[in-house]
Structure formats: structure tokens, C-alpha cells
A and B are shown apart, each in its own frame.
Chain A
Amino acid sequence: MNILKFIETFTDDNLMRSTGSRRDSFNQFGNIGKNLAMASIPFGLAAFSNKAMAADIQPTPATPIGALQFALTLEYLENEFYAMALDSGVIPASENGGRDLKVFQQISAHESDHVTFLINGLGGTMSANFVPKPTFDFTVGGAFDPFGDYPTFLALAQAFEDTGVRAYKGQAANLISTPDLLTAALQIHSVEARHASEVRRLRGLKGWISNDERGAGMPSATQAVYDGEGVTVQAGFNTAALFGASAGSEAYDEPLTTKQVVDIANIFIV
């Protein structure tokens, strides 16, 4: 598949199995949080909302252990997402010189390593600090088809990687009292950023985030991943002064709070 060709045809609507009222519901929310989760479940909400709410993960405490638990849950999500995609065959094996498959095999290997690393960091699966893997639904009740439709898979991969970068960044202060854990978290953080850059570039975007733009072809439901990325003042310094707002915002990635990330993750947890 020619990547430019599918990007051309890759619109918000294409990601949905039907349009109309669902599209409206995607557009009507303007903030992140539970509203997003609601808006992202465009139909049949009453049928499974209770179950979904019951299984929601909660924000972790602002402690080193909490940060690791939080990170582990995110890594569970990414790890399962890529493992399922590789199993499903949705990733084209020979297009782009085999690039896509090589890229996602490498990303999948890293996410698997991160899960193992964080479980060990929490003291193993028998530790009181261990948190089990939630049950994920990457179709969000049927709204997405990431394992049958490659552009949808790519879009969610971008959203997860860009979320991961912002999520780890937001936990750094919680690890400031534990230098070894902080260093390890930073070492995962930069790997997520390497992933994010490559997935974005596979999708024909820049490897970095301009303003708070989710980028061409990204469903509007993913906007929560990008809200707040358009900052152009850092510690009082105007980063837009020299080369404009796009460059100024690209030069800095912004954090997400624990709550903001949990709300995004809960969209995919049932």
C-alpha cells in the first residue's frame, strides 16, 4: 500500500463504521476526561457503560510506586495493542520495503520489555504493589477496527505513543525522590518518543507535534492526546519569537496529568 495514497483517503469518517450522529457526538465534546470517554462511545452506551465504568482504572497516587503502577498499566495497553496487531496480520508485511512490519515488531518488542521491567520494578507479580493487566477493547465497543483496517491501527498507534510520551513526562516529578527509578522512567520515556516520531513519520506527519494539532487523518476523538501541546511560553521565554508558533511548540513536548492519561486509557478499558 502506498502510504501517501492511504493518507489521502484517511479521513475522520473513514475511521468510523458509520457516520452521521456518531460524528456529531465526536465533535460535541471540547474537553478531556470522562466526557471524552462518553463521547467516544457513540452508540450502545447504556448497554455496557456500567461494565465499563466498573472496570475503569483510577488515578495512581503521586508516589514512586504509583508512578510505576501507572506506567505499567500504560505499557500493558501498548503491549497488548501491538501484539494483537502483529497476530492479526493488519500490518502489511512487504510494503515500503517491509518497513512497517519491522517498525512495529521493534516497537512491540520494546513494549513487552517495558512490561517485564516495570513488573520487576514493582517487586514481581506476587508483590502487594503489583497491578494486573486490565481488559482492553481497542475497538471501543465497535467504533474502531484497528486489527482489520491498517490506517485505523496507525492512528491509534500514534495516539498511544504520543500519549505515552506525555504520560511519562507527567510522572517525572513523582520519581524525583528515587533517582534510579527516575532514570529508568526517563529511559523509557525517550524510547516512547522515538516510537512516536517513527509512527508519525510512517503516517506522513512530522515526527514532532506542531501546536496542538493531532495531524491529518487522526480521528477527532484523539484530540485529548494533543490538547495543551501548543504551549509557546517556557519558563517565561517566548519560544515562538524566532521561528513562529509551530516551531516553538514543536521544540517542547508537554506533560499530561495522571488523571488526563487515565481518562484516555479508560476509553480502551472494559
Chain B
Amino acid sequence: MKNEVKIHEVEPSLSSRRSFLKLSGLTLVTAGLVMAGCSDNDNDDPIVDNSLPGIKNGIFDLGSGDFGVLTYAYALEQLEADFYTKVVNASSFNATFNEIEKQVLTDLYHHEVIHRDFFKAALSGALPDPNTQLLPSLAFSYGSLNFNSRTEVLATAKALEDTGVAAYNGAGRLIKSPDYLLLAGKIVSVEARHASAIRSLINPNSSDFAGDDIVNTSNGLDDAKLPSKILPIAAGFISTKFTATYLP
């Protein structure tokens, strides 16, 4: 099915943010998302597999194929990098978290900023016309999220990391180039290491690091979700409009 996600300015309410924090990342529904243009009939408007990222009808579209998937990953990494940048720069960071937590969150800040800048560099080098085809720097909004709340920060980190794992796991099959597939593989396992560590910080004496809420109890498989399932989740935090018309 053709999927178009239009992400509008996020105006999160307190209640939706709290709901988010109660839910495990992949089931949350956030305010501010408008789904539009979904077509049930692929024959009328077949997916174009060679659509490059860029402005279409006034809104940036992620495109299709490998560039589309990489641009999608770049959007998600922008979100993660922005979140942890805000976490480590929060006014009470040093008082809010213990030494191990600070080490973990600082490492995650480093890793995600590196991932973001890597995708920017890789796409800038590979896109035929990066001036028009490189996804711009997105703007983010976290609503009422209190960056000086240990509980809220860790819960959001857990949601973001689990979502990142599911996103890469789901997008792998969309990648045509073995080189790009390997690069995604190099990143997703680090996201999974992050998710495990955050879950362990939240509930240390437990099996939550790879909990039954995220790893299927009948086959031992982690979550995997296509872009059309991931973007509505991420959209809760992304205030810049873009579309993903050509990604499943």
C-alpha cells in the first residue's frame, strides 16, 4: 500500500505525553500526526521504486529504494541525536542520574550524534544532487517531557531505542545494496545494545533487557516494523513536515 505520512507541527498535550511514557515504545499513539493520502489501490498509482528524496508538492519526501531507506534512517538518527543532546545538556543532568547512568547516556549521546553525522555525510556523498536531495535538519518537540526527570528520560530513551531496533530490523529487507545493508547492520546491533542497557537501568534485577514485551516468547525474535509503522511513532517528536510516499 502506498503510504504517505504528513507530519505536522506537534502540539502534544500533557495527557498524551503521559500516555506515551506508560506505553512501551511501539504501541504509543501521539498527538500531532496527520495521516493523509493513503491509497488502497496500488494499481492506480504504483509505487515508483526510483524516486529520489527531495521536495515533492512542497513537502520533502524521503524517496524510495536505498536512498529512501538511508534518508529514513537519517531522520530517525536525527531524532535520537537531538534527544540525547538535550538529555546530557539538561540543567540537572549531573544530579538526576547516578554515575553509571550518566556514563550510559553520555555514550548514547556520542553514538547517536555519530550516526546522524555519518548519514548526513554518506548521503551527501552518494546522492546525485545533495543540495536538493539531502533531508534538511529536522526540528523536534518533546512537549512536556521533563529532561530533569530520570523516569521520563529513561522511559523515552527506551521507547526510542526499541523503536530504532524495530525500524532497522524492518527496513533491512528494503535495502538493495549489500554495502548499505551491512552498514545498517553495524548500527542496529548498537541500537539493540543501547535498548538493553536502558531497559536494564530501568529495571536491573529482571529479564527486561530482552523482555517478553519486546522479544517474541514463541520464537525469540525481536521486533521488526516497516517505515509506515515507525514514522507515526517518530512523528510524535518531529515537528518538521516530511512525507514517506514511496516507502512501505
Q: Which of B177-235 contact A (CB under 8 A)?
A: 178-179, 181-183, 185-197, 200, 204-207, 209-211, 215-224
The reply to whether B110 and A253 form a contact with Cβ atoms under 8 Å apart is no
Give the Cβ gap from A234 to chain B, nearest Cβ, in Å. 6
User: Counting chain A CB atoms within 10 Å of each CB, which of B179, B190, B193, B219 scores highest?
Assistant: B193
The reply to whether A188 and B220 form a contact with Cβ atoms under 8 Å apart is yes
Residue pairs across A and B with CB atoms within 8 Å: the count is: 200
User: Counting chain A CB atoms within 10 Å of each CB, which of B168, B190, B210 scores highest?
Assistant: B210
What 4 A-B pairs have minimum CB-CB distances, sorted nearest first?
Answer: A113-B220, A97-B205, A193-B192, A106-B207
Known A186-B188, A234-B118: A201·B200 in contact at CB below 8 Å: yes
Q: Which residues of B contact A191 (CB under 8 A)?
A: 192, 210, 215, 220-222
Q: Which residues of A contact B103 (CB under 8 A)?
A: 206
Summarize B's interface: helix, strand, loop or mixed: helix
A107 touches B (CB below 8 Å): yes
B169 touches A (CB below 8 Å): yes
The reply to whether A251 and B181 form a contact with Cβ atoms under 8 Å apart is no
Which residues of A approach B to under 8 Å, CB–CB?
A: 96-99, 102-103, 105-107, 109-114, 116-117, 165, 168-169, 172-173, 176, 179-180, 182-184, 186-198, 201, 206-208, 234-237, 239, 242-243, 247-248, 250-255
B205 CB contact (under 8 Å) in A98, A169, A180? A98
CA–CA, A111 and B219, complex, Å: 9
The reply to whether B118 and A237 form a contact with Cβ atoms under 8 Å apart is yes
The reply to whether A187 and B223 form a contact with Cβ atoms under 8 Å apart is yes
Chain B residue with minimal CB distance to A239?
B114
Q: Which residues of B contact A109 (CB under 8 A)?
A: 217, 220
The reply to whether B205 and A96 form a contact with Cβ atoms under 8 Å apart is yes
Give the Cβ gap from B124 to chain A, nearest Cβ, in Å. 10
